Amino acid sequence: MSSRCLDMTLCAALLLALPLAGCEREMRRFDTPPKATDRAGPQGAALRPGPFASAPGGPDAQARSMSQVPRQPPPGYEENAFAVAQGKRWYRWFNCNGCHANGGGGMGPALIDATWRYGRQPGDIAETILQGRPNGMPSFAGRLNEEQLWQLTAYVRSMSGQLRADVAPSRSDALSAGEPESRRETQRPGRR
């Protein structure tokens, strides 16, 4: 076998392999619907309403645990594409999208716009997730570990363009989810 022929075979193989690799990169593996006995995601007791409502423990307990939320995430979340992509998974896994849709809002407010009722810093958002807020945001305390909390926080911030474009997700498995997070202009808050 001549080396030229070998080259040609290699080239052909490469040409075949390239689009296949492309397919693999783009392929979506959807979760199969869970059986009723084997439901995906966390479940259990009802979530608590946000603070100042009739939450167990009262305002004092809430204030104590609020003070435990660090104001800044540890390094490795807001600058890390994997962490943000994981946050995007939790966003759907914990039904955040049920209320906030793919950022435009629904039962809860929009997350892709420039309005933050309770602040746009990572600590503000983590606090909202952990403690809940009085007008309907439930408390997810005890449902996420700290890593998941900061991943989710980073993703929520990416939705309004607060993170670097090369860190924010660039694709979505949702139907017509609008502009990818990585291409969103940074929204500047009107207040706070």
Partner 1 sequence: MEKKKAVVLTVRYRPPRSLAPRHRRRATGLLVASCIVGAAFGQALPEGQWHAPAGDPANTRYSPLQQIDRHNVAGLRLAFRFPTDTRTGLEAAPLVVGSTMVIVTPYPNHLYALDLSTPTATLKWRYSPSPAPASQGVACCDAVNRGVAFDQGRLFFNTLDNQTVAVDLETGRELWRTRLGDIRRGETMTMAPLVAKGKVLVGNSGGEMGVRGWLTALDAADGHIVWRAYSTGPDADVRIGPDFKPFYGQDRGRDLGVSSWPPDAWKTGGGNVWGFVSYDPKLDLVYYGTANPGPWNPEQRPGDNRWTAGLFARRPDTGDAVWFYQFSPHDLHDYDGVNENVLVDLPWQGTPRRLLLHPDRNGYLYVIDRASGEVLAADPYGGAVTTSTGVDLKTGKLLYNPRTEPRLGKAVRDICPASPGAKDWQPSAWSPRTQRLYIPRQNLCQDATTYAASYIAGTPYVGADVKIRAGAGGHRGAVTAWDPLQRRAAWQVTEDLPVWSGALVTAGDVVFYGTMDGEFKALDATDGRLLWRFRTDSGIVGQPIAYRGPDGRQYIAVLAGVGGWAGKIVSLGLDGRDPTAALGFANAMKDLPSRTRPGGMLYVFALP
Residues that bind partner 1 (CB under 8 A): 28, 30-37, 39-50, 52-54, 92-95, 98-99, 101-110, 112-113, 115, 132, 134-138, 143, 173-179
Report, in Å, the least distance between residue 183 CB and partner 1: 12
Q: Which residue, 39 or 71, is less far from partner 1 as judged by CB?
A: 39
In angstroms, the CA 78 to CA 6 distance is 48
Q: Which residue, 2 or 145, is less far from partner 1 as judged by CB?
A: 145
Give how far Cα 140 sits from Cα of 95, 131, 132, 174, 182, Å.
11, 7, 7, 24, 27
Report, in Å, the least distance between residue 10 CB and partner 1: 36
Report, in Å, the least distance between residue 56 CB and partner 1: 10
Report, in Å, the least distance between residue 47 CB and partner 1: 4
Q: Which residue, 105 or 119, is less far from partner 1 as judged by CB?
A: 105
